[in-house]
Structure formats: structure tokens, C-alpha cells
Amino acid sequence: MHETIHVGGMNITFLQTRHETADALDVFELTIPPAASVVVPHTHLHYDEWILGMDGITTWTINGEILLIHPGESLSIPRGSPHFFANLHDQVARVICLQTPGVMGPEYYREIAAFYRPGDPDLASIGKVMHRYGVEPLIPAKQPDSSQLTNR
């Protein structure tokens, strides 16, 4: 197992990195506590992402569609697709993320973690890191309410 990187209450543990796969992919486990979400909706310019639900339920907004991902369910996020995720439930959620090709590695998440202060993330600095790695931040997402949720 590789190091665990802590970002805003979430834990990111790499299982395989681009450095070990000749840039073919990055694979990591993401643990998301209740009420946690990605800091800002975004798109990826250089890679596709695949998510597999392991524990708990996560809520994803992809291209404007809101989806619930339960254990054993998966979804694909093609490069260029605006997306956002959150844990809107009262138990810890865990997903496996696969990004291909591998272009970011743990370096990206270490840099984001350095600017993520609980309750007051440095969004300007986080945005600069995102741009450097081909991740484009979008306007802040509204949290979905239960009437918008789609079971997968």
C-alpha cells in the first residue's frame, strides 16, 4: 500500500500510480466522510475516470445528471465531463477511482492537500494547482436535494 493523503477530511490511498504503470493509469481508494465533498466541480482535460462504489453511498453530478452510487455499482466520467461528488449520507463512503491515462499521480493530491484548510480552503491556490494538471475548476455546484437523486 502507498501513502494516504488527507484532503479536507477525505483520505486518498494510491494502489497503483502512473510511475508504476508507465503512465497507463492511476488507481486509488477514496474514503469520504459524511457531509464531505470535492472542493469544486471540475472537468479533466487529459484523462477518463472510472468509479466503483465499495462502501456507503456517494452522490455524483455528471454533465448535470445526479446519480447515487451504491457498493458494487460503477460509473464512467469521460474527459471533459463536468462533475462533482459528495457524501450526503450519515456513514463513511469508500470508492475506487481509476484514471486513465495516468497523468497526475499522488503529486497532484499532495499539492491540493497543502492548500486545503478545513472550513477555509485556499481556492485561488487550489485552482492554480488544478490548472497545472489539466483539471479545470467550474463554478461552485449547488448541493443536490433528495428530489433530484437518481438511483443507479
- Tell me the CATH number at 123: 2.60.120.10
Q: Examine residue 84 and state whether it is found in any structural domain, yes or no.
A: yes
Look over the chain and give the mean of its residue pLDDT values, rounded to a whole number: 90
User: What nine digits make up the cell of 116?
Assistant: 486545503
Q: Which residue has the cell 453511498?
A: 57
Q: Examine residue 141 and state whether it is found in any structural domain, yes or no.
A: no
What pLDDT is attached to residue 141? 45
What pLDDT is attached to residue 119? 76
Q: Examine residue 146 and state whether it is found in any structural domain, yes or no.
A: no
Q: How buried is residue 90: exposed, middle or buried, by Cβ count under 10 Å (0-12/13-18/19+)?
A: exposed
Full domain range(s) for residue 120: 4-135
pTM, rounded to two decimals:
0.86
User: Is the distance from CB of 95 to CB of 53 less than 8 angstroms?
Assistant: yes
Tens of pLDDT, residues 78-103: 999 999 999 999 999 999 999 999 99
Q: Examine residue 147 and state whether it is found in any structural domain, yes or no.
A: no
Report the domain count for the chain: 1
Q: Examine residue 81 and state whether it is found in any structural domain, yes or no.
A: yes
Q: How buried is residue 101: exposed, middle or buried, by Cβ count under 10 Å (0-12/13-18/19+)?
A: middle
Q: Examine residue 107 and state whether it is found in any structural domain, yes or no.
A: yes
* DSSP H or E segment with residue 115: helix 105-115
Amino acid at 18: R
Q: Examine residue 78 and state whether it is found in any structural domain, yes or no.
A: yes
